[in-house]
A and B are shown apart, each in its own frame.
Chain A
């Protein structure tokens, strides 16, 4: 299967968007080679603004530019969602300015740079901000769709992307705020987002081999969340498992929990980063260390059925 990093797709999507929409400008904070905005920089040098290593200023500059009718996409590492937070909150979300945040290198699969750079809290930070749309694309194709959709939304949008190359699945229909059923099932429901989809699919395969017919739903939009779909699969399967490359506090798991609580849930388990910071290592080794590989996910689900 073809592999491509979601961040690479982000960069490609911006170039395409830039061709279609002259209002799109891209801001980066000296990370264009990593966030992959360098493609846009090359294609549209007059619409690319490097703000230097000053992420907070980048966000408010984008806020100001948006008031002039532009659609700024700010790019940096997801871990700086915390560093920029006051600017994102008060500079952009409070006045509902039309600024997009494409933050890359999210989660532990950032790898070798270590825990200081591995954002495990960015979904939590973003989803509590009123008016913020939160996208967590699962692959390159979904990232193209998220970028395209972000430009059409009048207001702040967060797009979380990952560093490492991951499988590119066949394109799926994309509607903002609607999850995608990857496979139907009735014994339990696995809800996932982002690049954990690959591992959740493997887990579902393993479960199938053990006679457990698991439904699998991928949510590219964490906010607004597809509560209707989550409730439908909760009603059908009653046993719900969430899988994410993010803290189990405040991310997809809690989003799902809020949606389905009190609606006939028989069993509920959040699988993710268990309230710890990451560390240096190869992405594959880190996934194993934090028990997020397909077999480990399957094992946890089997134990809790």
Chain B
């Protein structure tokens, strides 16, 4: 493990910047994909794969490894960038993102892509699968921890709350649910489309041990939150207040970049902004 020192935070930030570049390169090459929610959840995925989770790219089926489920599966570009930088596959795969016979499908596919623990994309299901993994890990006596990132728009799915109820019922303290709270979804803001209300109060009421991170795109804050020891008998819920499109000026806070790829000119500008 890298640990949470200032120096290492810088290293993690470097990886995050590279993953953001990957997101732009991938979506621009494919002419499709979801940059907005990928860019808002980049710190979380980099922190998980480089600092928090016990995973080994050379042994990606190890039964005792920690698991990650990208419940908001459309943020696949951030996951693919992270997995690539972590060594699960080579950069050449980016050329085949969303292409015929590629391992980097439009949404994560556990059958095709090394390091992907569950196939997601149908919203609400990933968190439910993660609950099953955590329950199964406890049942089989595995010490592994299960992490999942859900979206705020995704939280409008009833299944998210069915899964949450089960996570508390089965006392899954080996489960961490991370909310990428960027406030935007396809049709507008959460409040315009379907208000989430007091999401923190809801998570608490469902029996989670809740941590709120003021800036979910600040690597140190994210890493610190992920390192808080588990609360015995309770699943963890981390609210990351993030910015959709983070790191690319013209995408930041813009709902239009939820599921649209940058053209060549826009990609060039974005990559320039993301230079280290």
**Min CB–CB distance A137 → chain B (angstroms):** 27
* A57 B118 Cβ-Cβ under 8 A: no
At the interface with chain A, which of B9-17, B51-59, B127-135? Answer: B127-135
Residue from B117, B129, B139 whose CB has the most chain A CB atoms within 10 Å = B129
The 10 closest A-B pairs by CB, nearest first: A64-B132, A68-B136, A60-B128, A65-B136, A57-B162, A61-B132, A64-B133, A54-B162, A95-B119, A64-B129
User: A63 and B132 in contact (CB under 8 A), knowing A57-B163, A68-B139, A68-B142?
Assistant: yes
A25 within 8 A of B: yes
B137 within 8 A of A: yes
B91 within 8 A of A: no
* A60 B125 Cβ-Cβ under 8 A: yes
* Complex CA–CA separation, A61 to B139 (angstroms): 13
Given contacts A60-B163, A64-B128, 16 further A-B contacts (CB under 8 A): A52-B165, A56-B128, A57-B162, A57-B163, A61-B128, A61-B129, A61-B135, A62-B132, A63-B129, A63-B132, A64-B133, A65-B133, A67-B132, A68-B142, A70-B136, A87-B128
A11 within 8 A of B: no
Q: Interface size for chain B: under 10, 10 to 19, 20 to 34, or 35 or more residues? A: 20 to 34
Q: Pick from A47, A70, A91, A95: contact of B109, CB below 8 A.
A: A95
Q: Mark B144-184, 1 if CB is under 8 A from A, else 0.
A: 00000000000000110011011001100000000000000
B: residues with CB less than 8 A from A are: 63, 67, 109-111, 117-119, 121-122, 125, 128-137, 139-140, 142, 158-159, 162-163, 165-166, 169-170
**Min CB–CB distance B217 → chain A (angstroms):** 29
Residues of the A chain whose Cβ atoms lie less than 8 Å from the Cβ of B118: 63-64, 67, 95
**Min CB–CB distance B65 → chain A (angstroms):** 11
A: residues with CB less than 8 A from B are: 25, 47, 49, 51-52, 54, 56-57, 60-70, 86-87, 90-91, 94-96
**Min CB–CB distance B176 → chain A (angstroms):** 14
